[in-house]
Amino acid sequence: MVERLRAGGIADLAVLHAFDAVPRHEFVPEAMRHRAYEDVPLPIGSGQTISSPTIHAISLELAEVDEGDRVLEVGTGSGFQTALLAELGAEVFSIERLPELSARAGEILSRLGYAARLGVGDGGQGLPDHAPFAAIIVGAAAAEAPGALFAQLSEGGRLIVPIGVREQVLYRYVRRGAEFVRERISGARFVPLIEQPLG
């Protein structure tokens, strides 16, 4: 998997090392394990998917995570990217909307010895009490730029977020004082961010 990521243009050694260290098959349901090291998203239950290794690698490279950075992940999902962030030395906060996924990710992460603070809720609101974050990675597509998250970036902080309903684009925003400098990274296909309040 690491060789494929490298061949695909991922150059950040810390990111490649993290992929080498974290066992992706542990985060994939039993029935899908034989495909755990393919470069594809896979179903993880509750209608959700673990993103492809390439998507995680691109997001992490863009996030430029340094040891000790406080990082917010929106959409814990399987917990695999959460583990990658911990492996990079980040202080990880991760929010998941679906309690059953958060609980399962929490079990796997603690079994493997990864420390992360998991919470259940609407990640689109961020975690104002724990802000600012050096990086925020959103793992599901927002219909529009998520205003609440911008305010929770530190100076120089990076927000990686797919935006769009039918056509999605992956963007990176970097905070420069009062400005948020936007870079278009690529077209994207993420599951939608659930934006309705809990029923």
Residue 82 Cβ vs ligand SAH, minimum distance, rounded to whole Å = 8
Nearer to ligand SAH, 48 or 152 (CB): 48
Q: What sign does the CA torsion over 136, 148, 45, 109 have?
A: positive
* DSSP assignment of 12-71: -HHHHHHHHHS-GGGGS-GGGGGGTTSSS-EEEETTEEEPPHHHHHHHHHHHT--TT-EE
- Reading the block at residue 64, the tokens are 């430029």
| Active-site annotation, residues | 51
Nearer to ligand SAH, 106 or 124 (CB): 124
Nearer to ligand SAH, 144 or 179 (CB): 144
Residue 177 Cβ vs ligand SAH, minimum distance, rounded to whole Å = 28
Residue 189 Cβ vs ligand SAH, minimum distance, rounded to whole Å = 11
Residue 108 Cβ vs ligand SAH, minimum distance, rounded to whole Å = 11
In three-state secondary structure terms, 131 is coil
Nearer to ligand SAH, 170 or 193 (CB): 193
Residues that bind ligand SAH (CB under 6 A): 48-51, 74-75, 77-78, 80-81, 95-98, 101, 122-124, 139-140, 191, 193-194
Determine if the peptide bond prior to 43 is cis (ω within 30°): no
Going by the DSSP 8-state scheme, the letter that residue 187 receives in this structure is E
